[in-house]
Structure 1
Amino acid sequence: MFKPALAAVLVASCCSAKADNIEHISIYANRTATPAQDVLASVTVLERDEIVARQATDLPALLAQLPGINLSRDGGRGQSSGVYIRGGNTGHTLVLVDGVRTGSATLGYKSLAMLPLELIERIEVIRGPRAAWYGSDALAGVIAISTRRAQAVELNANVGSYGQAGTDLSLSHQSGSLQLHATAGISRADGFNVRDDLDSDNDGYRQQFVKLAADYDTTLGLFSAQADVNSGTYQFDNAWSSEDEADTLSRAYFIGWQQQLGGWQHQTRLSRNLDREVTFGPESRSPFNTVRDEFSYQAATDLTETLSWLGGVNWYQEQVSKAAPDFEQTSRINRAAFTALQYQQAAWQLEGTVRRDLINQYGANNTWQLAAAYQLSEHWQARLSRGAAFKAPSFNELYFPGFANPDLKPQESISDELALVYQGDHLHMQVAWFDRDITNLIQGVEQAENVLLASIKGLELSIKQRWQQLGSDFNYTWLDSENHSTGLQLERRPEHSINWRGSYQRDNLSVFVSADYQSSTYQGAFAPVANLGGFTLWGLGGSYQLNDQLSVRAKLDNLLDKDYQTSAGYTTAGINFAISLSYSPR
């Protein structure tokens, strides 16, 4: 049940501070660099400084602090986590890493639990459909991650509760027109027992990652190349088999080129993404290896002073190179073309985008998006959008024995959004109403099935303020979801959620306090508990700049040692601490 008293306290606290006027640039919402306030969608951008300042445990925990996002965990750091944007399934969010489509073709989405925060330079979250720009998977939103490109040497180390420890190093070197970047790190934790009823051991993880990148700027354009390797092991508790540990490996490579020729911007990229997970135990071993090769090209130009155009093509092949058991089909190809027009005149902004995807399993899928904004005054803007999106079934949903349904249809949706935005020197506020109808939603425990119709609607309120040394970030989301075949809520979607973070900074000292509230959630007919109660978590942290080269950070999560669950039956962390050091020689 929603607690209005808590909301009132947090809103009152929120209104005691004001937000600084730092312009953020959206790179992925329109596939070109655009000031965030000019994007006709709900966008949140986190730069490296803010990612570090928030001191989140991992990437899912960081994303759960943002408007319109809730989190479901099967344990602690390293274990499986579901990230739901505006009530969409985990697989309804496209995850881009340095512009490359990522994720397992068998799962149908990117697992974020083992994607290290230490490797991330920037995060851009676009809430709402973006399939007209990116195709399948971008039904509920896009999470676009840019990895580290440090401009100097930086060394970080951290320790924390449950045996948590890690270190990472970033380097950069420039020689004329050639710039090189490298980041490498390791991380581990003993963890805690995530299911008391299944296994008595602690469930931890081990991880190591490395990234190498090069940029070469010439008269023919900017050439880029990059390689990322992220591997590790995590432990879990499993009620369906004896397997309780998994080895993971993610490798991504790309080469790219971009050039400004007269009034035209050209960009092309060729990439390969490999995703491997091998689960094992005393009695069995299950490997799943998938490969995605992708090519994309786009061009953009200003047709007139008020009208701009962007268009391009996209091709990718997904292949299951190894799976246990064998799948009936192991490969599919997607070919697509897209085009967009953007118009800006006086107080008006208009945008239209269409895309056509040809998947060899399903034929054509057409998606589109229309948006308009009107500047009501210097600080106030009204925005309206409608878009169509789809998601193709994953290989597991189509071909995994005992669960698969080869007759599944792609999930399709129509989404609307109406937003009112205030942008001032010290205050940014947005209230957004959204409504999405999904046909052929894929659900199921014993077998994947298409739900004829599901609906999701909700309201987001976000207020960011700064006033002198004080700061406040407040987010509230109301969500109403329904499976029209059963009349029940969709699983693991809380009706109400609140995130608040208040901060104070003076000289070299910065401190913050946070509160996160989530109302009760329906867990499904097959869950150990049909409904989980709501909860509020408090946190406290701070940082101190010891000198120009060295800083220290510390935090306490779950300050009141709240006993709570976000996934029925799975234990979550009690009160826990973390301490980290950053060293960057000048």
Structure 2
Amino acid sequence: MRHILLLAGVLGGGLPAIVLAQTAVPTFEDALVVSASLDAEERGAVPATVTVVEAEELEARQANSLAEAIGVVPGVTVAQSGGPGQQTSLFLRGGESDQTLLLWNGIPLNNPYFGGVNWQFVSTDGVARIEVVRGPFSALYGSNALGGVVQVFTGSRQGGTVRLEGGENGYGRAGVAAGADLGPVRLDVTGHVRRGDGELPNSFFDSDELLARSLWSIRPGVQLGLLVRGNDASSGIPQSGGQPTPRRTIDWKEREIAVPFRAALGTWEVEAQLSQTLFDSAFRDPDSLFNQASDTESEGLRGRTVVTWRPDESFWVAAGSEVERLEVTDSSSFGINLDGARQRTWAAFGQASWGVGPVRLDLGLRRDDNDVYGAKTSLRAGAVAALGGGFRARASYGEAFRAPSLGELYFPFYGNPELRPETGATWEVGIEREANGWRFALVGFQTRQRNLIDSHPVTFTAVNIGRAESQGVEAEVSFTRGIYSLRLDGTRLTTENLDTGRPLLRRP
């Protein structure tokens, strides 16, 4: 059981006072989404299935982790191997856990080593908004967006807040958030310290996180920012294969830094961002047969620019480019596995959106050129039609891929430098209605995936031999009025491994 005390004060002085809640100020308008296209659009005009989780909902549900926050979203399945801090995987619409792209303020958090995300270590501190976009989006973001995109946006708040929690099994958590305007510069800082022993022996989870964001308004419509995030986490692993492991642990360090730039000049808008991500993990089990240990360091360097021209509300076109360099070094008790293994990618992409009467058409295309697997082209097209009476119908088709990770390419006795990207194509149709605070939505989809990377049954090396298909229906009914919000949703999903004829594992 958790006990929570929330304290709030004003920067610059004053005694703190006990309050019920103080939520972040959203960065974006509630009706706009930015993850499903190259320019912000109204949610009803986007030919994609998007769920938005606002800061108010996070506060009301007391969701401290990202996996907890989006686990109730239609089409999302979260699998956790134990309590907080234990291995957590997320599956979108039947896709693999490494086929979802996670973005934090536009920075990819997928680990270059094997492409996955440590969902258990991503907190909701300072989060103003989470967007979950289901379906293929490589036409906008390139690799890893095969099943969909989850994007986390941090926000701003006035004054300061201190939140204290405590509970059983040595659980304690202290969080702080503060924000202020310093002339033309906006500054926000959030962070937490968490300690907890867990319910089982050696199931502890400790976490420290600090993130800071500054935004300098150089002139009207022109902004330059700095984003910094650091997370240190340590978890005990209580058992393996049903056997207790009293001293098995994993330590995780994560660093992100980014410099975003935005300029709105009449009908033109330029957005650019340079970013670096650093991942560092250390696994230890001194009681194992060979005193098992491994250390992994991963780095991602990226630059992305998007230029948008919007002459009027009915039409806009955007184009951009992106460069990326990924590098991994890994060693274990048996020696060095990867020594600075790297790959580089250059991409060019574009998207156009055109409204004609009650119909809006979207078309996007991206070309990725990688120095290991070669080139890959991704297409996405969709349409939304207003039917009257608050009803909207939409349909879309999208192609996506997941590039082989550096571990799949070069890990000793498993890696295969000849691997090709995993590919997928999805059809989707849906209808929805919004009126008088009510929202109804029904979506059907079908996805086919090819060249899935799996272990060869004889050589145990990575090969492109997998094929899969998933299809399903997502339904949602919600009602919002004032401070009250009610939502009921569900997903019917059918998956099949086309090589074995059996359902895919760990899917609902």
Superposition TM-score, scaled by structure 1 size: 0.76
Q: Aligned in 2, Cα 1:161/1:34: closer, same or farther, shift over 3 Å?
A: farther
Deviation at 1:329, TM superposition (A): 6.8
Determine whether 1:380 maps to 2:391: yes
Residue of structure 2 in register with 1:293 after alignment? 301
**Higher relative CO (CA 8 A, sep ≥ 6), structure 1 or 2?**
1
Query: Which sections of structure 2, spanning at least 5 residues, go unmatched?
Result: 1-28
Residue of structure 2 in register with 1:314 after alignment? 322
After TM superposition, the structure 1 = structure 2 runs for residues 220-259 of structure 1, keeping only pairs within 5 Å, are: 221-236=222-237, 237-239=239-241, 244-259=248-263
In the aligned structure 2, how far is the partner of 1:258 from the partner of 1:57?
Answer: 30
Determine whether 1:403 maps to 2:414: yes
Residue of structure 1 in register with 2:19 after alignment? none
Residue of structure 1 in register with 2:14 after alignment? none
Determine whether 1:205 maps to 2:205: yes
Residue identity in the other structure for 2:51 = T
Q: Aligned in 2, Cα 1:346/1:397: closer, same or farther, shift over 3 Å?
A: same
Deviation at 1:402, TM superposition (A): 4.1
After TM superposition, the structure 1 stretch with the greater mean CA deviation from structure 2, 214-223 or 270-279, is 214-223
Residue of structure 2 in register with 1:18 after alignment? none
Residue of structure 2 in register with 1:79 after alignment? 86
Determine whether 1:170 maps to 2:177: yes
Check conservation: 1:328, 1:399, Cα contact below 8 A.
no
Q: Which of 469, 476, 483 in structure 2 is aligned with 1:462?
A: 476
Check conservation: 2:329, 2:338, Cα contact below 8 A.
no
Residue of structure 2 in register with 1:558 after alignment? none
Q: Aligned in 2, Cα 1:307/1:470: closer, same or farther, shift over 3 Å?
A: closer
After TM superposition, the structure 1 stretch with the greater mean CA deviation from structure 2, 296-305 or 482-491, is 296-305
In the aligned structure 2, how far is the partner of 1:468 from the partner of 1:189?
Answer: 37
In the aligned structure 2, how far is the partner of 1:422 from the partner of 1:411?
Answer: 35
In the aligned structure 1, how far is the partner of 2:152 from the partner of 2:481?
Answer: 30
Deviation at 1:151, TM superposition (A): 2.4
Residue of structure 1 in register with 2:500 after alignment? 486
After TM superposition, the structure 1 = structure 2 runs for residues 150-189 of structure 1, keeping only pairs within 5 Å, are: 150-189=157-196
Q: Aligned in 2, Cα 1:303/1:284: closer, same or farther, shift over 3 Å?
A: same
After TM superposition, the structure 1 stretch with the greater mean CA deviation from structure 2, 379-388 or 33-42, is 33-42
Deviation at 1:244, TM superposition (A): 1.8
Check conservation: 2:170, 2:196, Cα contact below 8 A.
yes
CA RMSD of aligned residues (A): 2.0
In the aligned structure 2, how far is the partner of 1:33 from the partner of 1:469?
Answer: 26
In the aligned structure 1, how far is the partner of 2:177 from the partner of 2:65?
Answer: 19
Residue of structure 2 in register with 1:508 after alignment? none
Deviation at 1:116, TM superposition (A): 1.5
Q: Aligned in 2, Cα 1:161/1:24: closer, same or farther, shift over 3 Å?
A: farther
Which secondary structure does the structure 2 equivalent of 1:50 belong to? Answer: helix
In the aligned structure 2, how far is the partner of 1:274 from the partner of 1:468?
Answer: 42
After TM superposition, the structure 1 = structure 2 runs for residues 319-358 of structure 1, keeping only pairs within 5 Å, are: 319-324=327-332, 325-327=336-338, 330-358=341-369
In the aligned structure 2, how far is the partner of 1:111 from the partner of 1:447?
Answer: 24
Q: Aligned in 2, Cα 1:334/1:164: closer, same or farther, shift over 3 Å?
A: same
Render the CA deviation track for 1:196-241: whole Å, top value 9, x for unaligned.
Answer: xxxxx23111010111221110128201012111111011133499
Check conservation: 1:124, 1:144, Cα contact below 8 A.
yes
Q: Aligned in 2, Cα 1:288/1:119: closer, same or farther, shift over 3 Å?
A: farther
Residue identity in the other structure for 1:313 = S
In the aligned structure 2, how far is the partner of 1:302 from the partner of 1:469?
Answer: 35
Deviation at 1:109, TM superposition (A): 2.1
Which secondary structure does the structure 1 equivalent of 2:38 belong to? Answer: coil
Q: Indicate the structure with greater strand content.
A: 2
In the aligned structure 1, how far is the partner of 2:217 from the partner of 2:64?
Answer: 37
After TM superposition, the structure 1 stretch with the greater mean CA deviation from structure 2, 338-347 or 116-125, is 116-125
Which secondary structure does the structure 1 equivalent of 2:153 belong to? Answer: strand
Deviation at 1:35, TM superposition (A): 1.9
Residue identity in the other structure for 1:478 = R
Render the CA deviation track for 1:233-276: whole Å, top value 9, x for unaligned.
Answer: 01113349977201100100011211012210001111100011
Deviation at 1:390, TM superposition (A): 0.4
After TM superposition, the structure 1 stretch with the greater mean CA deviation from structure 2, 420-429 or 449-458, is 449-458
Q: Aligned in 2, Cα 1:107/1:188: closer, same or farther, shift over 3 Å?
A: farther
Q: Aligned in 2, Cα 1:230/1:349: closer, same or farther, shift over 3 Å?
A: same
Q: Aligned in 2, Cα 1:469/1:250: closer, same or farther, shift over 3 Å?
A: closer
In the aligned structure 1, how far is the partner of 2:159 from the partner of 2:43?
Answer: 27
Render the CA deviation track for 1:101-160: whole Å, top value 9, x for unaligned.
Answer: 122111202211011122422211101111100000001110000124322211111123
Q: Aligned in 2, Cα 1:28/1:323: closer, same or farther, shift over 3 Å?
A: farther
Residue of structure 2 in register with 1:34 after alignment? 41
In the aligned structure 2, how far is the partner of 1:162 from the partner of 1:41?
Answer: 43
Determine whether 1:122 maps to 2:129: yes
Residue identity in the other structure for 1:213 = R
In the aligned structure 2, how far is the partner of 1:407 from the partner of 1:362?
Answer: 7
Which secondary structure does the structure 1 equivalent of 2:204 belong to? Answer: strand
Question: Across the two proteins, how many residue pairs are aligned to each other?
Answer: 466
Render the CA deviation track for 1:519-571: whole Å, top value 9, x for unaligned.
Answer: xxxxxxxxxxxxxxxxxxxxxxxxxxxxxxxxxxxxxxxxxxxxxxxxxxxxx
In the aligned structure 2, how far is the partner of 1:241 from the partner of 1:394?
Answer: 31
